[in-house]
């Protein structure tokens, strides 16, 4: 990880941060970076930049672990890619994410109920 000295501990911290981010645990990832012992830090500025980046992107960092367990990640990729690439479109991250949500609501026959209540009926598949 940029900003740290090359030690065995660096890899442990790197994977700890990645795991937090995989599950969308932004605050825990930031705390892990902030709690790196000063003796392990090579470039504090690089770590500060990383924390700032994570903070700015927190709204776009989903819980990939949950999405994988639900089996929706690949389906979202297919839906969005088909819709956007078929029409030669270029979308913002926010617009692309919104399209994915709408497509999943449509596939789960929940557009009307979501429109009325603002609640998505989330159920685990047995």
**Residue 120 backbone dihedrals phi, psi, to 5 degrees:** -95, 125
What is the band of 104 on the pLDDT scale with cuts at 50, 70, 90? confident
Q: What letter does residue 118 receive in the DSSP assignment? A: S
What is the band of 116 on the pLDDT scale with cuts at 50, 70, 90? confident
Q: Buried (b) or exposed (e) across 67-106, using 16+ Cβ within 10 A?
A: eeeeebeeebeebbeebeeeeeeeeeeeebbebbeebbbe
Per-residue pLDDT at 19 exceeds 90: yes
Close Cβ partners of 83 (under 8 Å, ≥ 6 residues apart): 89, 99, 103
Per-residue pLDDT at 79 exceeds 60: yes
**Residue 37 backbone dihedrals phi, psi, to 5 degrees:** -55, 140
What's the mean pLDDT in 65-86?
68
Q: Quote the pLDDT of residue 74.
A: 65
Q: Quote the pLDDT of residue 72.
A: 60
Q: Quote the pLDDT of residue 126.
A: 43
Alpha-carbon distance of 33 to 27, in angstroms, equals 10
CA atoms within 13 A of residue 81's CA, in its CB half-sphere = 6
What's the mean pLDDT in 13-23?
91
- The mean of the pLDDT values for the chain is 80
Alpha-carbon distance of 33 to 121, in angstroms, equals 36
Per-residue pLDDT at 125 exceeds 60: no
Per-residue pLDDT at 96 exceeds 60: yes
Q: Quote the pLDDT of residue 123.
A: 61
């Amino acid at each position: 990880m940029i900003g740290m000295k090359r030690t065995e501990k660096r890899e442990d911290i790197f994977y700890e941060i990645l795991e937090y981010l995989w599950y969308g645990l932004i605050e825990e990832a930031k705390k892990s970076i902030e709690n790196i012992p000063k003796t392990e830090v090579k470039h504090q500025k690089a770590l500060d930049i990383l924390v700032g980046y994570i903070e700015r992107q927190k709204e776009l960092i989903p819980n990939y672990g949950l999405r994988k367990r639900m089996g929706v990640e690949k389906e979202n990729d297919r839906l969005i890619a088909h819709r956007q690439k078929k029409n030669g479109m270029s979308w913002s991250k926010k617009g692309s994410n919104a399209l994915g949500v709408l497509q999943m609501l449509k596939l789960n026959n929940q557009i009307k109920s979501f429109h009325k209540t603002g609640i998505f009926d989330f159920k685990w598949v047995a």
